Structures are given as structure tokens and as C-alpha cells.
């Protein structure tokens, strides 16, 4: 991680990340979809989204949640093919996700399986931001989006989820900037309040 703490918010690339998986355990389950959108000063600078062949069956209960089935992924590349595009997005960025530790843990496991190491990064969790600074009826991604009047169509598909997450993050950053959050240091300090 080589983003100096004094870097202004406008100069930081924020990479919004979401993965869909075959289950909940990063050790036993696999990624079946990944989506990434990177923004600098709320202007998109990178986008990548793909289905991934998890090289195992997708359980019916997972298909009911995210709509991804074995037929959809059978001719898609396995995770190693996506690594270069994921690395490009992660490099020199702050990663943002909703319940981001889930996504991070799956990426760490998948990177490890193909002989790569996850780079050292700052992670920002919109779930924790919503819990700490919002007053939502519940803090599920689609519910927060709905309450902020952000489209939550196709919730539980990776690309829709990163788009919702980026708009939720932008909502809070407008508030944070008014409260004096102008640098990476300010943001990380604010999130520890």
C-alpha cells in the first residue's frame, strides 16, 4: 500500500468490489462472479465484471440468492484468468465494499490457490459506515439503497452491488467532507470514531 495518508480524497482511487460465491466459507467455497468499478473524484476510471467458473457445482440455495447457475458459468474462465484485471484495479487504490471482509477473505483464498498474494490495501466497509453513521431500518445493501432512493435492481449480482455500494459511499462522503474529511488520514480516522 503506497497511498500516503495525506493524499486528498479527490486524488484517491476508490475501488468498489463485490464477489458472488458458491457458499460462505472462503476455504471450501469459490468465487463465481466478480465485479469491480474504480472511481477517482467520483469519475469512473476502471470497470471489470465477469462470471467465473468456480470449478464446482453451485448449490441451488445459492442460485436462489444470486441467480447464478452452473449453466451460466460452465464456459467461463476459472479465477486465475481474472487475476491480472483484478490486480490492475486493486493497485494503488482504497478498496470499498459492503461487508468487505467477506469479499477480501474470498479474494485472499482464491489468490492463494493460484499462487498469488493479496496486496496490502486499505479496506473501507459501507456496512460499518451505515451502522455507525446511518439510521436505516436494517443495514442490508439493498435496503440502504432503497432508503437512499438508489436503484437496488438486480441486488445480489456483483455489478449491481458495486454500483449500489459506490452510490452509498458517495452519499456518506458528501457528509464526511462537510465534516472536514479531506484526506485518506481524515477518512480512516473518521471511520475509527
Query: What parts of the chain have a pLDDT lower than 50?
Result: none
Residue 69, domain extent:
13-192
CATH, residue 157? 3.30.420.10
**Burial class (CB within 10 angstroms; exposed 0-12, middle 13-18, buried 19+) of 155:** middle
* Count: domains in the chain: 1
6 secondary structure, DSSP code: T
Is 116 inside a domain boundary?
Answer: yes
Q: What does the chain come to in residues?
A: 193
Q: Which residues are catalytic?
A: 156
Is 115 inside a domain boundary?
Answer: yes
Is 2 inside a domain boundary?
Answer: no
Is 19 inside a domain boundary?
Answer: yes
Is 4 inside a domain boundary?
Answer: no
57 secondary structure, DSSP code: P
The CA dihedral of 46, 50, 55, 58, to the nearest 10 degrees, is 120
Is 7 inside a domain boundary?
Answer: no
Backbone angles phi, psi at 165, to 5 degrees: -60, -40
Is 6 inside a domain boundary?
Answer: no
CB-CB neighbours of 138 under 10 Å: 9
CA distance 143 to 174: 20
Per-state percent for the chain, helix, strand, coil, to nearest 5: 45, 20, 35
Backbone angles phi, psi at 40, to 5 degrees: -125, 125
The per-residue pLDDT for 74 is 98
Nearest to 52 by CA among 21, 18, 24: 21
- Give the bridge partners for 97, in sequence order: 125
- Give the bridge partners for 39, in sequence order: 14, 44
DSSP 112-132: HHTT--PPP-EEEEHHHHHHH
pLDDT for 65-101, tens place per residue?
Answer: 999 999 999 999 999 999 999 999 999 999 999 999 9
Q: Hey, what's the cell of 150?
A: 438508489
Is 1 inside a domain boundary?
Answer: no
The per-residue pLDDT for 193 is 86
pTM: 0.95
Residue indicated by cell numbers 503506497: 2
CB 46 within 8 A of CB 38: yes
Amino acid at each position: 500500500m503506497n497511498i500516503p495518508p495525506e493524499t486528498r480524497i479527490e486524488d484517491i482511487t476508490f475501488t468498489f468490489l463485490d464477489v458472488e460465491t458458491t457458499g460462505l466459507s472462503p476455504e471450501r467455497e469459490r468465487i463465481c462472479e466478480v465485479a469491480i468499478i474504480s472511481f477517482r473524484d467520483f469519475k469512473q476510471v476502471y470497470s471489470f465484471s465477469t462470471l467465473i467458473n468456480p470449478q464446482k457445482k453451485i448449490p441451488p440455495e445459492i442460485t436462489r440468492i444470486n441467480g447464478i447457475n452452473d449453466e451460466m458459468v460452465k464456459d467461463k474462465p476459472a479465477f486465475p484468468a481474472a487475476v491480472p484485471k483484478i490486480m490492475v484495479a486493486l493497485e494503488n487504490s482504497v478498496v470499498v465494499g459492503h461487508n468487505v471482509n467477506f469479499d477480501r477473505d474470498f479474494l485472499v483464498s482464491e489468490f492463494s490457490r493460484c499462487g498469488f498474494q493479496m496486496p496490502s490495501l486499505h479496506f473501507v466497509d459501507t456496512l460499518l459506515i451505515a451502522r455507525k453513521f446511518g439510521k436505516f431500518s436494517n443495514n442490508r445493501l439493498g435496503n440502504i439503497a432503497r432508503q437512499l432512493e438508489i436503484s437496488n435492481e438486480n441486488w445480489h449480482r456483483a455489478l449491481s452491488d458495486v454500483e449500489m455500494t459506490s452510490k452509498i459511499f458517495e452519499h456518506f462522503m458528501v457528509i464526511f467532507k462537510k465534516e472536514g474529511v479531506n484526506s485518506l488520514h481524515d477518512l480512516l480516522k473518521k471511520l475509527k470514531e
